[in-house]
Every structure is written in structure tokens, then in C-alpha cells.
Amino acid sequence: MKEKDEKKLSWKEVCRLNGRGFRIIYKRYPKLVLSRFVPMVWDVLTPYISIYLSARIIGELAGTRDVGRLRELVLITLCVEAFLALGKALLTKWKNYVNSTLFLMMDQFYVDKLLGMDFIDIDDSKMHELYYKIQQFHSGGNWGIPRLLKIFEELVAALFTIVGGIVLTVSLFTSRVPEGAYTVLNHPLFLLVVLVVMFGTIYLAPALITKADRFWVKNSDKRMEGNRLFCFKLDFMAYKTDLAADVRIYRQERFMKKYSADKTGPFYSNGLFARYAARMGGFYNASSAAVSVAFTGVVYAFVCLKAWAGAFAIGEVTQYIASITKVSTGVSMLVRVVGDLRNNVPFLKENFRFLDIPNTMYQGSLTVEKRKDCNYEVEFKDVSFRYPGSDVWALRNINMKFRIGKRLAVVGRNGSGKTTFIKLLCRLYDPTEGEILLNGINIRKYNYLDYMSIFSVVFQDFKLFAFSLGQNVAAGVDYDKERAETCLIKAGFGERLAMMPEGTETYLYRDFCDNGVDISGGEAQKIAIARALYKDSPFIVLDEPTAALDPVAEAEIYSKFGEIVEDKTAIYISHRLSSCRFCDDILVFDEGRIVQQGSHDRLVADGGGKYYELWNAQAQYYT
């Protein structure tokens, strides 16, 4: 944030943004906020009880020294202290329990937003940049919404410290020195001096720290850059196994040496942050500590003088010094918190920019009728599509109707629009022009999740998780074992399943389970196909489903394709035209348009067509 903008920031805006952030946390996690509030109030107020009681004991020791009274005071002190310690322990335990998943809770706002976001935004690199930035704010200083918990806690601590301290300090100024040489100490001027020094300290000490912090806020972009390089270096060298082989073969650590050698990088010994810590940053922090000590000196002098002059007994000296110091600490904490509220604003703005990304995709309310006969007819009517920010048509004037229960192959060169066509079919994007109809009704009018439920898709870049095989197939925690096994066998995974130590209960990968199994790319592809079968939707879409399979497994899948897809409408994207022959119909894409449609035999007979050209280009490898 530029200095000019920062100056323009009104307090109303500061309160509005912080208030909004706080409401977001409180609405979702009221218990979390309470678990920060109650123990903090307990922590802040209970020392005053101790201060008060020990002042009474010292007073008794320095005064009448009544043994009975002393015994009584010590007993009360012991009981009260034991109760306070027990209360503190219980509250801390509760707080730790509620806060044990704090990171997850704070992450949840963003995860929910991502899950509910239109796919068009998920696909947007600017959104990724913003999300990454927010993650960096969180990990580097906990700025943004998560910071508000700390700010809230400190605000509560500051206010209660001030109130408690004032209650125990009032009598310092009201108790009068008896007539004599020191009556001058009764003059209100002394109260003024203490207050002036206190407010001077209170203003200066935290202001100096806030000034030191402001440097970090202003340079957050540089810090982010430093973090990125730093993480990149660690990931690169140390643990990203998917990079490790490349790094070793090409000796790519040499990239990083360039950055390590540059000692002026943000996080290096001669970098921006180290230089600041050694110079102005260090100066501000040290000056802040020194200013606070000066105030304590003035308080000591005033309280001791008044006690010396006989305004109160010796026991009260400890009480006044402790409580007035606490008032000062409380007020300086308050100033610091207020500074933090302001410093947090640029980070909050970025948080809200992310959380406020609107859902622009129209969400209809029609339900998709559940039918056993799979009679769902989808039609593209003059559909054209451009990716956001692009002026090139990825799809142009697409007109076609899916034949229910038939197998359709989609072929074409890279970049011809095949995947985009599928993404539009599944309503990950809406057409820029034209419309897609389901049983004669625009798909926008259907409830989004309902519409999605009629598709099972195996994307090329599908992902499996380190859960059990059965859970992966069912895409859920609970699953029907028999059904999962049938789907796996249909997808050609039967033999491997028989070798699995715990059948469908076997864990994939070793992230969560030492007995987990590693699987090959081809095996993963079969599991992904089984997952699509388990969902049992009327449409099944397979995007290059056999790319990672060996020729035997591939032949096996093709021979059983009819059995696999049963009476579903199947859409099959492939580069290998030989594998499209078993489909009823073939769509040929070129530069975003459907240039041909028909059976393999008909298309291959058209010597001037695109299909013939593609077929011949591949056929030479088979002859």
C-alpha cells in the first residue's frame, strides 16, 4: 500500500474493515472467540487480586503485626491463589482444546470460498495470484483475518488491564500527605506530571514499534518475493520428489546458487530486511523499551515520596507501583493494538477482495428428473465460446445432439477444442454465444449440482487421494464394497485388486498409512475409470482414458468398452483414431469447429476430409 493511500485511510474505514473481519470469525466460530475472551480476562484481572492481598500482608507486617490477622490474611491469600491457579489451568486447557485446529478453522473461510467459486474464476491466474498472496500474508506474520483473533485478545487485555489498574490506583492520588514539609505533594500538579509522563510514554513506546512494523507492511511485496525464493529453494532441493529426478539429471540446483550468491536478496545478510533490522528497525525497538523504563522511574519516585511523607502505609507502595505500571502497560497495549488495526487494513482488503469474488454464473432451480432409462437428451445449439480475456474463439458455432445410449468419439488435433467442448457440456463454463439444452431446456435453468450429477468424467489430469482404494472409487468415506469391487473389475483392475493385501481397504500411497501401496500411472487410470463407473451417471466422458495404459490393457478396455459403459451415453476423446472405430459416431474438431461427423467407415472414405488426413498421419505408424 502506498504511503499516500495509508494517510487517506479514515478511522471509520479501519473500524469497518476490522469489524467485518471480526464478524466473519465470530459468526462461524463463536466458541473460538469466547475461548480467547474468558481466559484473557481471567489472566488480566487475577494479578490485581494478588497485588491487593500481598499489599495487605506487607501493610500488616509493617504496621500492627497482629499474628491472628496475619494468619488470616495468609490463609485467604493461599486459598484465593489456589483457586485462581486452578481456574487458570482449566481455562487454558479449554482454550487449547478449542484452538487446537485453529489453522484449519482459519483456512476454512478460504477453502469454502474456493469450493463455491465459479469454475471460470478457479481457472483464472489472477485469482491464483491473489490466493497465493493471502496465504503468504498468513504465513508471514499472520496478517489479514487470522490476525484479528490476536488483535481482539490484546484489545480485551488492554481494556481490562486499564480498568483493573485504575481501580487500585485511585487512592494513590486521593490519599493526602499530612500537614508538614511535604504537603506540596498533595498538589494536583503531581497528578498532572504523572499523567503527562504516562501518556508521553504510552504514545511514544508503541508508536515507535508501530513505525518499525510499518516498514514490513510497506515492503510486504518484497517479503513475499523473499518467501517465494526461500520456499522455492527448499522445495526445489529438499523434498519435492516430483522435481528431484529432474534436478539431479540437469543439476538444476545451479539456478538457486545464483540467488544464494546474491547477498542482497530480501532475506540475506545484506538484504533489505537485515539492513533495516540493524539500523532504523533496531533503533525504534530499543528506543521504545527505553521510554517505558523512564516512566517506571517517575512512578517510583512519586509513590515513594508520598509514602515517605506519610500519605499511606508501606504496604500500599507495592500496590500502587504495580497497578499504575499496569495501567501504563494497558494503555500502551491499547495504542499498539490500534496501530495493529490500522496496519492490518491493507491485508484485510486483499482478503475481502478474494472473499467478495462474485458468483456470476446463473444458478437455476429446476431439478433434473431421475430416470432409469437414461433418457437425457443434450443438444448444443450454435454454441461459441471464448476463454475470459482471450479474443480467440476456442469453440465456434457448435451444433450437435447427443444420441441417447450411443458411443461418441471426439477427435482432433491438440488445441482444436475437444476439452473445452466437454467443459461446456459439464457446465464448468457457460457458452459465450448460443445455448446448451437438456431435454429441451437451457441447462442454466437447472440446479447446478443436479445438472452435474448426470455426468461422470475421467479427465486426463484426474487425481486420486491417499485414502483407501474403495474410498477413492466411491469418492467418499463410506462406500458399498461389492459395488466398488465390481467397478474395479469392469475397469480392468481385477487382477491387481486380488493382489491387494486388504482388498478395497488397502490404502493408496503411503502418506497416511505405512502399508499403503504405490500404483502405476496405468493402474491409477483404471481406478479413475472405476470411480466414474461407481458414480453411475447417465453420461460417461472419458478424456484419453487409455493414454497411460500398456497396449494389452488398452486392448482389454476397448474390447470391454460396451460392457463398461452399458446403456449410458458415452463420450470418448482420443488422439488414437484406431481406438475410435468401436464408437457409433465420431465428431472431428478443427480450430474450434466441428468439421466432420459420422462413422469411422464413412469418414475414412472421405479422402478430402480432416479425419482421412489424421487417420493417414497415424496409419503410417501401424503399417
Which residues of the shown chain bind ligand ADP in the complex (CB under 6 A)? 123, 387, 390, 394, 412, 414-420
The answer to whether residues 447 and 368 touch, using CB atoms and an 8 Å cutoff, is: yes
Q: How far apart are CA 579 and CA 576, in angstroms?
A: 6
Phi/psi for 321 (5° steps) reads -60, -45
Cell representation of residue 187: 498538589
To ligand ADP, the closest distance from the beta carbon of 443 in angstroms equals 19
CB of 392 to ligand ADP, least distance (A): 6
Q: Residue 214 CB, nearest distance to ligand ADP (Å)?
A: 39
| Strand ranges, E, within 97-163 | none
| CA of residue 569 relative to chain centroid, distance | 39
d(CA 198, CA 325): 9
Cβ of residue 432: shortest distance to ligand ADP, in angstroms? 12
Radius of gyration over alpha carbons of the chain, in Å? Answer: 36
Structure-block grid coordinates of residue 1:
500500500
Cell of 527: 481406478
Q: 219 vs 460, which CB is nearer to ligand ADP? A: 460
Give the nearest distance from C-beta 127 to ligand ADP in angstroms. Answer: 12
C-beta of 266 vs 412, nearer to ligand ADP: 412
CB 415 to ligand ADP: min, Å:
4
Q: Which of 343, 407, 430 is nearest to 562 (CA)?
A: 407
CA distance 231 to 80: 50
CB-wise, 206 or 417, nearer to ligand ADP? 417
| Comparison of 120 and 272: residue with beta carbon closer to ligand ADP | 120
- In eight-state DSSP terms, residue 427 is T
Distance separating alpha carbons of residues 238 and 232, to the nearest angstrom: 10
**CA angle in degrees (0–180, nearest 5) for 353-354-357:** 85
The helix/strand/coil state of 260 is: helix
Question: Are the beta carbons of 471 and 477 closer than 8 angstroms?
Answer: yes
What does each C-alpha distance from 179 to 150, 183, 318, 323, 326 come to in angstroms? 50, 6, 24, 27, 30
Q: Which is nearer to ligand ADP, 529 or 573 (CB)?
A: 573
The least CB distance from residue 587 to ligand ADP, in Å, is: 11
CB hemisphere CA count around 263 (13 angstroms): 4
Q: Of 166, 174, 180, 190, give the one whose Cα is nearest residue 312.
A: 174
Closest CB 394 distance from ligand ADP, rounded Å: 4
Nearest to ligand ADP of 148, 425 (CB atom): 425
Least Å distance, CB 17 to ligand ADP, is 33
Question: 125 or 365, CB closer to ligand ADP?
Answer: 125
Of the pair 6, 124, the CB lying nearest ligand ADP is at 124
**Sole residue written with cell 482432433:** 412
Q: Which is nearer to ligand ADP, 387 or 582 (CB)?
A: 387
From the CB of 390, what's the least distance to ligand ADP, in Å?
Answer: 5
Cβ atoms 288, 208 nearer than 8 A: yes
Backbone angles phi, psi at 24, to 5 degrees: -60, -45
- Nearer to ligand ADP by Cβ, of 35 and 416: the residue is 416
d(C-alpha 361, C-alpha 622), whole Å: 46
Q: How far is the CB of 419 from ligand ADP (least distance, A)?
A: 3
Q: Which is nearer to ligand ADP, 469 or 571 (CB)?
A: 571
Contacts of 511 (CB under 8 A, 6+ apart): 466
Q: Write out the three cell numbers for 69.
A: 490477622
Closest CB to ligand ADP among residues 109, 393: 393
Residues sharing a CB contact under 8 Å with residue 380, sequence separation 6 or more, in sequence order:
398, 399, 400, 401, 424, 425, 434, 436
Min dist. Cβ of residue 38 to ligand ADP (A): 49
Least separation in angstroms between residue 546's CB and ligand ADP is 16
CB closer to ligand ADP, 148 vs 411 = 411
What residues pair up with 587 in beta bridges, in sequence order? 410, 597
**Residues written for the chain:** 623
Q: What burial class does residue 514 get, using C-beta atoms within 10 Å of its C-beta: 0-12 exposed, 13-18 middle, 19+ buried?
A: exposed
